[in-house]
Each structure stands twice: as structure tokens, then as C-alpha cells.
Amino acid sequence: MAAEDLKERYLDLIERSLMNEVYGESRLETLIRTAGVRLRHPWQTRGWSKTWPARAHTMIGRPRLRSLRTLVEATLEAGVPGDYIETGVWRGGACILMRAVLAAHGVTDRKVFVADSFEGLPKPDSARYPADKGDKLFSFGELAVSEADVRRNFDAYGLLDDQVVFLKGFFKDTLPALNGHRFALIRLDGDMYESTMDALTALYDGVASGGFVVIDDYGVLGSCRTAVHDFLGSRGLDPKIEPIDGVGVWWRKD
């Protein structure tokens, strides 16, 4: 079997495993865990047929997983310099996929940054960020996944090593330390205006020419979308924003 085919099969299996398609979700457990979330915030389906995955390591669904894989591979093929980061990682699935892509391609000189509070989302600062007024995501215990749990998930795939960097804390406190750090791709999944703006402000200048910016929830959360366009407008930027699945989007930095 050709090496290229083995690489594809490996990454296909990683995707299926991250979505728990190999063993399958427990219907009863999923219904119990997701019923309250669906009632409070129906958009929190993320392509999971109106359910919140009980055991899967990601909730972003197949289209966004495959898009992320394609974009990471595109940066490798084009020689776009830099590392990779996700801001807001939940159980770590998207970051695990990025690390798996590096492993599949034998890349040993790039890192994946895993940035999260690991304690859930911050309470809205509506005085500074009116777009977040009334946001209740901080109260969703389901979004608070510990760093230890995410590390265990990486380890389960044999991908917990020195190419994975954990960055614990709220973005306003942690991401400024990465200002100017070179990234080939940044994936932002902070949901809120504040979290999205903090990530763009700290990371965008470090995205290499030809690199990618991926925004989760752009299509369903107005606060996230507003932050994106406020940031781009403040820089006089007008990139071609490409849709993925009606929820996530991406663009390439010229």
C-alpha cells in the first residue's frame, strides 16, 4: 500500500475516532447530557443532528474537521511557516487533528498550541463589550473541560508530546504573550465577542502570509461575527471569507 494512501487512512481514522464514529455515541447518555443545553441554546448542535456528543472529543462535525485538515495540509504543501493554535478547545479534538496531520506528514519542527481557560467561558464584560450583554455561555458546565482531561485525550491517540503546548487561562491574560509569534493557521472558537476580539488582536499579526484564519460559530453567533468584522474594519481589511458548513468560515491572509 502506498505511503500516501496510508497517510490518508490514518487521518480518516483520526477524524472518525474524534467524532466517536468507531464505537458510536450512547443515545441515552447523549440525550441526558444534551437535553438541558438544547433547551437553553438550540444552536449548540454543531452538525450533530441536534445532539451534544456525550463522549466524542469534538463537537465541530465532519465538514469543519475535514476543512481544518485540508487547510493544515495546504500550509505544509505550500511551505507556509509557523505553528498552529486553537483558542477554545473543549475536549481538544481540533488540536488533536492538527497534531495528527503533523505526525502523518513527518513534521517535527512545528507545534500545536492548545489555548483555553479549561474552566469554561468568562462572564460577559458588557460595559466594555456590549455585544456580549446577556451571554450565558459562562454558565454552561459542559464547556468546562479540564486541562488534565484534554491531555488524556491527546495521550489516547499517542499524540501528547513536546510538539503540543498548553496555554491555560482566559485569552486576555495569556494570548498577548504570543504577540508576533509566527503561525501558519489560527483557529478561533471563543464564541463571545470579547474572546474572539482578544484572539484576533493578539494573534493576527503573527499569521504568516498565505496562512489561514478559521473562525468557528461565525455563522450562528452574532457576537462572534461582529467581533470579526469590527477587527477587520479597524485594520482596513476585506478578505474573502469562505463558508464551510453554515457555521464555520475561513480566509487566507495575503
Residue 176, helix vs strand vs coil: helix
- 44: pLDDT strictly greater than 50: no
Report residue 156 as a C-alpha cell: 489516547
Report residue 130 as a C-alpha cell: 456590549
pTM for this model (two decimals): 0.90
Q: Tens of pLDDT along 118-131?
A: 999 999 988 998 99
- 41: pLDDT strictly greater than 80: no
Q: Look at residue 45 in the predicted model and tell me its pLDDT.
A: 43
Residue 27: inside a domain: no
Q: Which long-range contacts (CB under 8 A, 24 or more apart) does 69-73 make?
A: 69/11, 69/15, 69/97, 69/101, 71/185, 71/212, 71/214, 71/250, 72/97, 72/98, 72/101, 72/102, 72/184, 72/185, 73/101, 73/105
Average pLDDT over residues 169-181: 96
Q: Look at residue 38 in the predicted model and tell me its pLDDT.
A: 47
- In angstroms, the Cα distances linking 216 to 8, 21, 25, 65, 67 are 25, 22, 23, 11, 12
Average pLDDT over residues 60-78: 97
Range of the domain at 77: 58-252
> How many structural domains compose the chain?
1
Residue 127: inside a domain: yes
Q: Look at residue 50 in the predicted model and tell me its pLDDT.
A: 45
Q: Look at residue 53 in the predicted model and tell me its pLDDT.
A: 80
What is the maximal distance between C-alpha atoms in the chain? 59
- 30: pLDDT strictly greater than 60: no
Residue 31: inside a domain: no
Residue 6: inside a domain: no
Q: Look at residue 39 in the predicted model and tell me its pLDDT.
A: 40
- What is the distance, to the nearest Å, from the Cα of residue 21 to the centroid of all Cα atoms in its chain? 20
Supply φ then ψ for residue 242, to 5 degrees.
-100, 130
Q: Which residues have a Cβ under 8 Å from the Cβ of 13 and sit 6 or more positions away?
A: 22
Q: Look at residue 23 in the predicted model and tell me its pLDDT.
A: 82
Q: Tens of pLDDT along 121-162?
A: 999 988 998 999 888 888 888 889 999 999 999 999 999 999
CATH of the domain at 246: 3.40.50.150
- 88: pLDDT strictly greater than 90: yes
Q: Look at residue 54 in the predicted model and tell me its pLDDT.
A: 79
Work out the mean pLDDT of the chain and round it to a whole number: 90
Using a pLDDT cut of 90, give the percent of the chain over it: 76
β 183-188/242-243 pair status? unpaired
Residue 19: inside a domain: no
- 46: pLDDT strictly greater than 60: no
- In angstroms, the Cα distances linking 2 to 6, 66, 108, 117, 193 are 6, 21, 22, 42, 46
Spatial strand order of the sheet with 83-87 comes to: 164-168, 112-116, 83-87, 183-188, 207-215, 249-252, 242-243
Please, which residues bridge with residue 187 across strands?
A: 86, 214
Q: Look at residue 47 in the predicted model and tell me its pLDDT.
A: 44
Average pLDDT over residues 20-25: 81
Residue 52: inside a domain: no
